[in-house]
Amino acid sequence: MPPRPLRLFRSAADLLLPACCLGLATLLAPCCCLAGGGPENVLLVVNQNSSESLTVANYYTRLRQIPPQNVLYLDWQGDPAQISGHTFRDKILKPTLETIDRRKLSAQIDYVVYSCDLPMRVNFQDFFPGEKFPKQMRPIASITGATYLWQVVLQEEPTLMGLNTNWYVPDAGVQDLARCAEAANAPTQGFRGRYAWRRGGKREADPSKGPRYFLSCMLGVRHEMGNTVEEIAHCLITATSADASRPRGTFYFARNKDVRSTTRHKCFDAVAAALREDGAMAEVTTGMLPKAAQDVVGLTTGFRKQDVAGAGMRILPGAICDNLTSFGGITDKDLGQTLLTSFIRAGAAGASGTVTEPLAIQAKFPLPTIHLHYFRGCSLAEAFYQSVAGPYQLLVVGDPLCQPWADPPDCDAFNLVDDKLVKGPLEIKPRLSSAAGLCELYVDGRLQGALPRGGKISLDSTKLTDGSHEIRLVAVRNDPIETRGRFTVRVDVRNTAAEPIALSSTPERRVGVDQTLELRVDGDASRYVIQQNSRTIGQAQGTPAVLRIEAAELGQGPVALAAEDPVSGRRSAPIWVWVE
């Protein structure tokens, strides 16, 4: 049975979506991405055997302009909920790390992000056969926590289950591990996967000086109690719309007598005061939820079970909503608690929950300072991981790149325009706004180097294949958070007399999920491979060269396709097709 059509825009509420995402023509057109910690720093992992995983990845790739080589399609056919430690290490983590290395992305990947329909829970008991752990150290981790702590997973170290394994957290002293006691004065800083860390959030450029991490997040979870694909896609669209928007709303800290609240609520007043001092609106309320509040830009609370949808709250685009409860991240069965997916459904850009009984231990949940880091301009993932000292059981879900309070620097180059014809050397001299300290140069999504302010570089186009290439300039703000802004163009390299490669489709822009898509390649090669991002979906041969493929194999939503001559490496410009 073919997958049912995906329907996203069904009511006036959908008008909250960004203008560049409302219509087919505009969603398929180039769209500027303002958020920092950007798409070139993401490796997106997709289950190629799940149409839902493909669909979610299609939306995210388009919304965030993820480079094609930054998408990894895994042949995952295992359990969708829980796997063993060795299975995770050998079938998911190692292929991910090997892909980063093989594609020469090691210098730039900061985020490992999972689409839906990959296992959310990892049981590491097989790493330690016969060993019994205290109940506060159950060897069960989330996929995002295990990925963040990738080095200790590879080494099979029991420190994976420690309460102070995340040294990205500033001043993560023992006073906050059991209960939150002092957190308001935490400094805020950005994250790079190549940085090493010493205790207390001390950053080191030398990777031998401390552990390294990958910010990790799932774009969505489905299962029995999870979100629908429509809800996940809507979350990602609204999160993208929130970037650099500085939403006017209130950060709420809901205090009550439940141990799920008392574990953290001694810090509420101090963090709320720090937010107000920084210019935000923050309120400490009594109860489980700020019922009827119409301006929720952030929420920290603790309770077992509440009707989030019936609370009358309006959660604004970009909000992080965090609830401390035992089973908030278990979506494959009903254990009678409010799940993180309830907040995603209600409009949050990100939420989290533990995937096994964690006990009421502060170190396993975000400190209230998560909202302070977020308001200061960090990405959603940076805010989460800067706040959790022992993240191994915490499943983080949502858009990791969402950055509502970012102030990205501007950059461009006067001689770079779309479809520019390039022969021989191309001199690039970036123009940066005053906030930027340097500019990174990416060609086809791969980091080429960094230029200081006022610097220039001569790009030798003869070292590139003829055809379409993306040039991306990324300005990095000169401050501890290192917020990033980008400028992207696509140029046409022509250093030989070879005929350009052109890809077209029938139907041209829209195709039903139950229809066949015909792809035609015009050029002078005898054979072409057709790729969806980094995945080869088939070959086209003949004159003209044609490939017919069932649209359902691509997933729904906006799909990027390109043709490549496997002999010369020449590529066509990408085309976008909407599968509906």
List, for residues 35-45, the tens digit of each pLDDT value.
457 999 999 99
Q: What are phi and psi of 393, to 5 degrees?
A: -95, 0
- pLDDT of 94: 98
Q: Is the pLDDT of residue 15 over 50?
A: no
Q: Over pLDDT 70: what percentage of the chain?
A: 92
User: Residue 12, SS3?
Assistant: helix
Structure-token match 């006691």, residue found: 181
Q: Is the pLDDT of residue 22 over 50?
A: no
Task: Considering only the C-alpha atoms of the chain, give the largest distance between any 2 of them, rounded to a whole number of Å.
Answer: 75
- Reading across the β-sheet that carries 446-452, which strands appear in turn? 421-422, 484-493, 467-477, 436-443, 446-452
CA dist 74 to 118, 333, 534, Å?
Answer: 10, 25, 11
Q: Is the pLDDT of residue 172 over 70?
A: no
Stretch (H or E) spanning 259: helix 259-262
CA dist., res. 530 & res. 519, Å (int): 9
Task: With cut-offs at 50, 70 and 90, classify the pLDDT of residue 177.
Answer: low
CA dist., res. 525 & res. 577, Å (int): 24
CB atoms inside a 10 Å sphere around CB 552 = 19
- pLDDT of 176: 65
Q: What are phi and psi of 35, to 5 degrees?
A: -70, 150
CA dist 89 to 71, 85, 151, 219, Å?
Answer: 19, 6, 11, 20
CA dist., res. 183 & res. 186, Å (int): 6
CA dist., res. 80 & res. 59, Å (int): 21
- pLDDT of 6: 55
CATH superfamily of 1-31+499-580: Immunoglobulins (2.60.40.10)
Token pair, residue 261, equals 């609240």
List, for residues 200-219, the tens digit of each pLDDT value.
889 988 888 899 999 999 99
List, for residues 379-422, the tens digit of each pLDDT value.
999 999 999 999 999 999 999 999 999 999 999 998 899 999 99
CB 272 within 8 A of CB 266: no
DSSP at 480 = T
3-state SS of 214-228?
CEEEECCCCCCCCCC
Instruction: Work out the average pLDDT over 22-35.
Output: 41
- pLDDT of 434: 92
Where does 235-313 show beta strands of DSSP type E? 250-255, 281-286, 296-301
Instruction: Work out the average pLDDT over 153-179.
Output: 83
DSSP at 90 = I
Q: Is the pLDDT of residue 329 over 60?
A: yes
Nearest to 400 by CA among 217, 232, 555: 217
Kindly report the length of the chain: 580
CA dist., res. 88 & res. 95, Å (int): 10
- pLDDT of 569: 92
User: Where do the structural domains in the chain lie, given as residue ranges?
Assistant: 1-31+499-580, 32-398, 411-493
Instruction: Work out the average pLDDT over 229-238.
Output: 96
Instruction: Work out the average pLDDT over 524-535.
Output: 94
User: Residue 385, SS3?
Assistant: helix
Token pair, residue 16, equals 């909250």
411-493 under CATH 3.40.50.1980, yes or no: no
- pLDDT of 328: 87
Task: With cut-offs at 50, 70 and 90, classify the pLDDT of residue 346.
Answer: very high
Identical topology for domains 1-31+499-580 and 411-493: yes
**Position 163, amino acid:** L
Q: Which residues of 233-259 are buried (b: 16+ CB within 10 A; e: fewer)?
A: bbbbbbbbbbbbbbeebbbbbbbbebe
DSSP bridge pairs for 438: 452, 476
**Position 547, amino acid:** L
CB 458 within 8 A of CB 426: yes
Q: Is the pLDDT of residue 317 over 50?
A: yes
- pLDDT of 171: 75
Q: Is the pLDDT of residue 28 over 50?
A: no
Instruction: Work out the average pLDDT over 438-453.
Output: 93
CB 254 within 8 A of CB 300: yes
Where does 444-542 show beta strands of DSSP type E? 446-452, 457-460, 467-477, 484-493, 502-506, 510-511, 516-522, 527-532, 535-541
What value does the CA radius of gyration of the chain take, rounded to a whole number of Å? 23
- pLDDT of 24: 40
CA dist., res. 445 & res. 461, Å (int): 16
Token pair, residue 520, equals 């035609």
CB 380 within 8 A of CB 402: yes
DSSP bridge pairs for 564: 529, 571
Q: Mean pLDDT in the chain?
A: 90
Q: Is the pLDDT of residue 456 over 60?
A: yes
User: Residue 53, SS3?
Assistant: helix
List, for residues 248-265, the tens digit of each pLDDT value.
999 999 999 999 988 988
Instruction: Work out the average pLDDT over 80-95.
Output: 96
CA dist., res. 312 & res. 294, Å (int): 8
Q: What are phi and psi of 145, to 5 degrees?
A: -65, -40
